Amino acid sequence: MNRTAAYLAGPELSWLILYLMTMWLVAFYQPLATDSSKEQLLNFGWFLPLIGVIMAFVPLFWAPGNHWLWLIRIGLVSSLGIAFVVTYLCSSVQYHDSRDSGVGTAWIMFFSLGIMTLIGMMFISAIFLLTKWPLLPVLKWLLIIVGILIALGAAINWLASLDTGKAS
């Protein structure tokens, strides 16, 4: 890979793609007419920071130069990316009553989840860089686990949305 292309395909690109995907999700759920559509949109806040942080570490495999500087770059960009993605997601949901304070709390929770994941991934990456172990299998399994969690969450959400057919 070209050295310039490797620098351009850094963690910023993965966060830009995730931000565009978040914009698409918010546009898909507009207008947020029902409370259930607002809840479904907020449920993406559990997974988007996780996916973004894990995907930000992918360029570490083809990164030229000092990997420690790349780790710092990933940390800074991911902190900003988490803030932008979570802010855009939470600002699109408004109940226009007292439940809006819960949306602010959701922002704090999703941001904290993303930062904790970032700190954990940076710690794991630092250990792997110090010992010169391959990080790719660990990252691959983390993405598989997050994918399984997303599939289970979607299945539970789908099952919960089914009408039970009980008479009222």
Tens place of pLDDT per residue across the chain (168 aa): 666 776 777 899 999 999 999 999 888 877 766 777 778 888 888 889 999 998 898 888 777 788 889 899 999 999 999 999 999 998 888 777 777 777 888 899 999 999 999 999 999 889 988 998 888 788 888 888 888 988 898 888 778 777 654 444
Whether omega before 137 lies within 30 degrees of 0, making that bond cis, reads: no
Please count the other Cβ atoms lying within 10 Å of the Cβ belonging to residue 160: 8
**Model confidence pTM above 0.95:** no
Q: Which run of H or E residues covers position 31? A: none
Distance CA 121, CA 144 (A): 15
Residue 45: both structure tokens together? 């806040």
